[in-house]
A = this chain, B = another copy of it.
Amino acid sequence: MTVLRKHLFDLPEGMIYLDGNSLGPLPKSVPVRVAQVVAQEWGGHLIKGWNVDGWMAQPSRVGDLVGRLIGAPTGSVVMGDTLSIKVYQALSAALQMRPDRRVVLSDTGNFPTDLYMADGLIRQLGHGHELATVDPEEVMDAITDEVAAVLLTQVDYRTGRMHDMAAITARAHAMGAVMIWDLAHSAGAVPVVLAACNAEFAVGCTYKYLNGGPGAPAFIYVRPDIADTVAPALAGWLGHAAPFAFDLAYRPAPGVERMRVGTPPVLQMSALEAAMEVWEGVEMADLRAASIALSETFIREVEARCPGLTLASPRDPAQRGSQVSFRFEHGYAAMQALIARDVIGDFRAPDIMRFGFTPLYVDEGDVVRAAEVLEEVIGGRLWDRPEYMARQRVT
């Protein structure tokens, strides 16, 4: 069944947007909802909004909407903070679960902030932990019985290379390690079944494939059977069992609610909640099939049209998330030239041109057209202009 629903998004006329893996476009349901929260809820109800408008329960309510897309049971996901913070919470809790072990295992395909947060935590603790970062293909062998926690991003942000969550989690558990998955490039992109993979923790962001808007809140999943026992390092009042009792002593809330920290960002949370409406009736298996079809078309078209580009993503779609990357020596300038022609992808150093495929609002025609424009840019050396060569920060 088709999952295409372009009419639910407010995409600029004429733009082909292949960067939904970085920041999803605006769902049409969002502006009205945000305006309502601002004017009627905050403006009209003021402090009463926390109760009458359900602001306080929103992080759990939205967590369940996200949970459906990642195969997490109701009540096992809660929203808040940023992905970096959620990585920190998960890893800190994981290390407390394995006090006798000292190795945190990750890979060089992880998004840097995950490594930075792990490194920061290790330095802060000062307990002699070590962050071991191996190549993605070496992860399985590197999981030994010295590893306390395995911290991986399922889909590589540069190449789209995808880890086998079930196999790696099984290996981690066989070695007695705690498993943490970062689903930044998975949630809303590929089918994930957390309940089946059995990982202890999963975290992710919602401004990519979930279209929650710039700076949308992150999510954290804690496996239900351990959620009542994990130790929250960031012991904020909204993760307290009774926040409004204002007790002087901390007592964690039951379940994943203990991973809440401070006052939730109501405007962002409401934008995200409205954005989640586009997922109604979408089955992840259908989305995955459409994503693979789009990606395969793009690879075929680009390879036929642009022989100077080298596929950086796995050729086997089963090994790939919902993005396709090509290496090109002048990739930065070429991407600028492409963007100037309203085909939006992005660039990752040193030479990766990155394209995300989001079947909710991208169709076959868009993909072919994108390849045509790329051919004009590459074949015509349109990238070779000073205004595209000037190196700027790219997000």
Contacts and interface: CB of A to CB of B under 8 A. Distances in A.
A117 B35 contact: no
Contacts of A38: 26, 30-31, 34, 213, 271
A209 to B, nearest CB: 14
A378 B294 CA distance: 69
A56 interface: yes
B231 A267 contact: no
Interface string A232-249: 111111001000111111
Interface stretch (A118-126, A160-168, A314-322): A118-126
Interface stretch (A139-147, A305-313, A342-350): A342-350
A169 to B, nearest CB: 24
Contacts of A111: 237
Nearest to A240: B116
A116 B85 contact: no
Copies in the complex: 2
Contacts of A218: 262
A99 to B, nearest CB: 9
A125 B123 contact: no
A49 interface: yes
Given A31-B35, A237-B113, A245-B349, A267 B213 contact: yes
Contacts of A346: 47
A115 to B, nearest CB: 6
Contacts of A249: 115, 119
Contact of A125 (B81, B124, B207): B124
Q: What class of interface size applies to chain A in its complex with B?
A: 35 or more
A234 B393 contact: no
Contact of A268 (B15, B267, B348): B267
Interface string A1-14: 00000000010100
Interface string A381-395: 000000000001111
Contacts of A30: 38
A208 to B, nearest CB: 10
A150 interface: no
Interface of A: 10, 12, 15, 17, 19, 22-23, 25-26, 30-31, 34-35, 38-39, 41-44, 46-51, 55-56, 81-85, 88, 92, 96, 108, 111-113, 115-117, 119-121, 123-127, 133, 205, 207, 213-218, 231-237, 240, 244-250, 261-269, 271, 339, 344, 346, 348-349, 392-395
List of 5 A-B pairs having minimum Cβ-Cβ separation, nearest first: A82-B262, A120-B235, A113-B237, A215-B265, A26-B43
